[in-house]
Structures are given as C-alpha cells and as structure tokens.
Chains A and B, each alone.
Chain A
Amino acid sequence: MSVITVKNLRKYYRVYQKEPGLIGSIKSLFHRQYQDVKAVNDISFTIKAGELVGFIGPNGAGKTTTLKVLSGLLYPTSGKASVLGYTPFDRQPEFQKQFSLVMGQKNQLWWDLPALDSFILNREIYEIPPAKFDKTLKGLVKMLDLKDVLKIQVRKLSLGQRMKCELVAALLHSPKILFLDEPTIGLDVVMQKKIRDFIKEYNQKYQATIILTSHYMGDVKELCERVIIIDRGQIFFDGQLKEIIKKYADHKVLEIIFSRQVSRQDLQKIKDIKIKEFDFPRAVLTTKRKSANQTAAKLLEKFPVADLNITETAIEDIIREVFTGRDLS
C-alpha cells in the first residue's frame, strides 16, 4: 500500500536577479528582472508504508523543496502530492498528527527553556494522552540516552544533544511518516552513527515510513535500500541502491602496491585497464567488471606485486560522476 504519492509535481520560485555592485542595486530599485527557478520540475514517485527511502542529490537539487511540499509548507506550482490520502497543503490536523518533519539546520525547541518544556508543549499541541506521552518519552529517552540533558536549557546543549532532543520532539506523537532533512549535518562521526542507528531502529520498531535526505552517503548506504536521486529538479534514478552500482558501475577498481620499480609505460601495455592514479609504489586502475579477475591474475604474473585489492567503485564516486556527467571508467 502506498502512503505517499507524488505525480508530476512542480515547484517554481520567482526570484529577481540583481546585477552586482551599487549601480546594480540602484537599478533594481526601479526595475527588476524576474526569473523562475525550477526547484522541482515534474517529478513522480510513490512510497509504500514502512519504506525507508533516501533522497540524494547535490545542493539545490530539489530534495528539501520536495519534503516541504510533502509537509504542506509549500504550495505546489502544479502536479499532485498526496500523503496518507491527504493533500498536504490543506494542513488538516488529522494529517498533521501523523507525520513529522525534522530539519537538521532548524530547531523547533524553545531556545531558552529546557527541552522537557518543549516536549510538554508538543504533548498539548498534538493532544497526546499523558500516559502515552510518558511512555513514548521514556522509550525515546532510553533509545537516545538523553536522561541527563532533559532539564538543561536548550541553548546550553551540544549540537549532538540538541539534535537528539529535536528528534524526540518530532517523535512524541508517534508519527507514521517521518521526513528527515539532513538529520546528521554537522555532527561528529560517533554521533552520526548513533542517530543512524536510532533511525533504523525506529523504522523497524514502529514500521514508520521515512524519507531521508543527506549529503553523507554513509547515512544513505547504511539506512536505505531504496534511493531516489534528484538532480536539477528531476528524478535521475529511483530504485535499489545496489542497482546503481550495477547500472552505472560496469567497472571495478584494482589497487596495487608494487614491491619493486615499475614504469607507467609497462603498466599501460596491459589490455583493458585504465590508470587512475600512479604514484609508486601505489597504483589505482579500473577494469571491466567481467574480466576483473583475469586482469588481476595477469598483473600478478607480470609485475612484482606486494599487495592487490579488488573493490567496487565507491557509491560516492558513482554518484558524483553521474552528476558531473563524466565517464566512470
């Protein structure tokens, strides 16, 4: 059963352009040149209940705009979005009680008060029965290890602690759908891991549907089976993460450490390889996926090899190269 349906969605922003400098500013006082920015330009997808989907794409690709439309913050220029059968922009309370949006760079907690005060406010806003609230809060506090920080002014918390509290605030009403926009931004690796584990656990424990955007491939790789890649407002790829590797990476990477001097020319004589890096004693080559093993055997036979590694092209590299439109091999 699909809980989120997006069909031919478009969101254009009208912005005005200003020439640089003071003269440009004065000109813009009298005459403004407007331009449409196509933040989201005709995208369609559906998401089933319980899925954990990753949105990836460069800055300005339209990921956040899509999430904002799905949350009812933005009025779509055209097309349709439906979440749990509701039109998000109508902002019906019944709908709002079933989803949550967390933005890594925005906060909803009251800055001058302890997080607990904001939680209690959310209890009233979402009309959560006190018994259920206490139970949910206890569970979340345990999962995120927050017991000691609930009564400290939010402004005094570290970024990681605050992010965890933001997550708690967003989850108190046990939303069925969760939109996470860069939930790990600015966090150290340990905290990133903790948040990731939590998201995974939450998804499995409550069968919550989650859409996550992130710049860290680590987040997406670890959490999402399905990814939607967006670029310049359009969907570029929608499918299993492993499919990206199959579809776009027809090459494997060979990393070699030589034990004695080898020249680049000698190496180039081997068929089917491309030299990506050569910095004695280390070389990185790419070769066709199918013949990777034979090529490796040939290299071992002809060269003094101390160490050899065959790896898949990193997803980060695949995606980066897909975006920049370069040849992968």
Chain B
Amino acid sequence: MRKYLQIFKTHWQSSFVYRLNFIMWRVRSLLQFFAVYFLWLAIFSTQEDVFSYNRSTMFTYILGTAALRSFVLSSRSVTAGVEIANGDLNNYLIKPVSYLKNWLARDLADKLLNIFFVIFELGLFILILKPSLIPPASFSNLTVFILTAILAMLMYFFFSFLVSSFTFWYPEHNGWPLRFLIFMVLEFLAGGLFPLDIFPQAVFKIFRLLPPAYFLFYPLQIYLGRLSPTEITTTLTIMMFWLLALYQLTRFVWKKGLKIYGAYGR
C-alpha cells in the first residue's frame, strides 16, 4: 500500500511542475461550465419545460455532469496505451509493482486535485452568474450519489484501461484511433451532452444497459431524486455487475496482451 501512496505523491509533485499547463487546464474546465450554461440558457429562454426537465433541474444536471466529469471521466490511463506502444511499460514490469494499481493511484491523485478545483470553480461560477440550481433531493440521495460517483469512477477506470490494452495488438499511433472513436461515442452515451431520458423510450432502454449511462447520467438522476428506491437498487446492482465484468475483462485481456508484448523501443 505504501508504494502506491508514494506513487500518488510523486504524481502530484510532477503535476505541479508545469504551472502554466495547470492553469490552462483549469481554464478549460471553467470554459466548459460557461459553454453548457449559455447553451441551455438559450433553450430555456423560449420555454419553461424541456422534456421532463424544468430550468433548475436541467441546469443542475448539466453543471453537475460538467463537475462530475472531472472526477469520473478524467483518467490518465490513456498514457498506458502510449507506454505499451513505446516500451516504457518495461519499467514497471521488471519491478515489484502492479501496473494497474500504479495507474489507479495516479488517477486518484489527479481526481482529488480535480475535485478541489472544481468545487472552487463551481463556487466562483455560481457567485458570478447566480444560476438557479437545486440541492440534493435528500441526505441519503447525496450519500448514494457519492457512492455511485465512486463506482462510476472505477468503472470508467477499468474501461479506459481496457481500451489502452488493445495497443498490445494495434500499437499504431499508440492506440489513438480506436480510443478516439470510442470516446466520441462514449461522451454521447454517458449523458454528458444532454440527459439520456430525453430519447424515445425504446432507445433509452438500450442505452441504460450500457456502462456509459452509469458514468454521468445515473449518478445525477440520483442526486436530483428522479429515481425511486427500487430504481436506485437496480442501478446499484447493474453498476456492481459492470464493475466486476470490466475488472475481470481487463485482467484477462491484459494477461493475453503481455504474452504477445514485444517490449519494443529497441
């Protein structure tokens, strides 16, 4: 455990080296808040209800996903693909350290930093624009929301790691083409652009079975109190199932990949 704590610390140290890079990255996150806010502000200027969302609910959903995104969808394990392709993975494979846990530790370091700044930025945003937002439906909703956010974070971590693993077989461009395609679709299916339940029922029924729906959409539904206790239980069960499945699949693919790993880079 101590070694991963040290990896966590070292990752932080290394993140702070580039101050400018760090600031620009935060500015980008803040701009994202503004962009989605003004988009929905325009939509709500002509009507009071959009689908089953009123103004406050929608703003809370949209700003909530923007904030949650920096916790759930912010894995650096993209770099794992690069390290497989250029052989830097060697450094880890020869040491008594787990590559997966290494990235989890580094991701957690990143995410913790993100949470801290997102809270600050969101506060700033609310202070300036005073959007109408709604608080969590209840204390237990907030608790379950936090739990699902953590589950979503882990699900996404294994998912992203899995995508990186395909670089073992297709090292071209460090695995970027596949990643790019998958993440375009994912953004959409996660409900990052708009809530998934505005789709026709038939389409939504399919979407809700896929892992991305649980990255952003479901945690926020719970926050907003739009799910019944039964639905919450179902959601948690599906999330646990996907988490376990993604974990097992990642381990399996990784084991296969290592056997054909070329340890390139000379």
A residues within 8 A CB of B14?
A: 110, 112-113
Q: What 1/0 mask marks residues of chain B from 180 to 213 whose CB sits below 8 Å from any chain A CB?
A: 0000000000000000000000000000000000
Is A280 part of the contact surface with B, judged by Cβ < 8 Å? no
A125-B261 contact, Cβ under 8 Å, with A106-B91, A117-B10: no
Q: Which residues of chain B come closer than 8 Å to A282, judged between CB atoms?
A: none
* CB-CB under 8 A for A106 and B95, given A73-B261, A75-B259, A112-B17: no
Residues B266 and A105 in contact, CB atoms below 8 Å apart: yes
B253 CB–A CB distance under 8 Å: no
Is B94 touching A93 in the complex (CB atoms < 8 A)?
A: no
- Bound together, the chains give a CA A93 to CA B92 distance in angstroms of 12
Question: Is there contact, CB below 8 Å, between A113 and B10?
Answer: yes
Describe A's contact surface by its main secondary structure. Answer: mixed
Point out the residues of chain A lying under 8 angstroms from B259, CB to CB: 75
**Using an 8 Å CB-CB cutoff, how does the interface string of A164-182 with B read, 1 for contact, 0 for none?**
0000000000000000010
Q: How far does the alpha carbon of A119 sit from the alpha carbon of B258 in the complex, in Å?
A: 27
In chain B between 14 and 63, which residues have their CB closer than 8 angstroms to a CB of chain A?
A: 14, 17-18
Determine if B96 and A75 form an interchain contact, defined as CB atoms under 8 angstroms apart.
no
Would B6 and A121 count as touching, CB distance under 8 A?
A: yes
Query: In the assembly, what is the distance between CA of A214 and CA of B30, in Å?
Result: 52
**Interface presence of B90 (CB below 8 A):** yes
Provide the residues of chain B in CB contact with A117, threshold 8 Å: 10, 13
How many chain B residues touch A (CB < 8 A): the figure is: 27
Q: B95 to A72, Cβ gap below 8 A?
A: no
B97 at the interface (CB under 8 A from A): yes
- Taking a contact as CB atoms under 8 Å apart, the answer to whether A106 and B3 are in contact is no
Q: Quote the shortest CB–CB distance from A121 to chain B (angstroms).
A: 5
Q: Give the docked Cα–Cα distance between A324 and B258 (Å).
A: 36
Q: Among the listed stretches A96-104, A187-195, A256-264, which one makes contact with chain B, having 4 or more residues with CB under 8 Å of it?
A: A96-104
Q: Does B2 contact A (CB under 8 A)?
A: yes
Assess the B10–A68 pair: CB atoms within 8 A: no
Using Cβ atoms and an 8 Å threshold, which residues of chain A touch B88?
106
- Cα distance, A126 to B94, chains bound together (Å): 11
B262 CB-CB contact with A under 8 Å = yes
Question: How close is A302's CB to chain B, nearest CB, in angstroms?
Answer: 54
Q: A106-B266, A124-B3 are in contact. Are A96 and B10 (CB under 8 A)?
A: no
Q: Are B96 and A68 in contact (CB under 8 A)?
A: no
* Residue interface bits B142-181, CB-to-A below 8 A is 1, else 0: 0000000000000000000000000000000000000000
Identity of the chain A residue whose Cβ is nearest the Cβ of B259 in the assembled complex: A75
- List residues of chain A with CB within 8 A of the CB of B266: 64, 103, 105-106, 181
For B93, the chain A residues whose CB sits under 8 A away are: 71-73, 91
Q: Is B7 an interface residue (CB 8 A)?
A: yes
In the complex, 12 of the A-B residue pairs with CB atoms within 8 angstroms, ordered by the A residue number, are A71-B94, A72-B94, A74-B263, A75-B259, A91-B93, A120-B10, A121-B6, A121-B10, A124-B6, A125-B95, A125-B96, A126-B96
Residues of B within 8 A of A (CB): 2-3, 5-7, 10, 13-14, 17-18, 87-88, 90-91, 93-97, 258-263, 265-266
13 new A-B contacts, CB < 8 A, other than A106-B266, A112-B17, A126-B95, are A71-B90, A73-B94, A96-B95, A96-B96, A103-B266, A108-B91, A110-B10, A113-B14, A120-B6, A121-B7, A125-B3, A125-B95, A181-B266
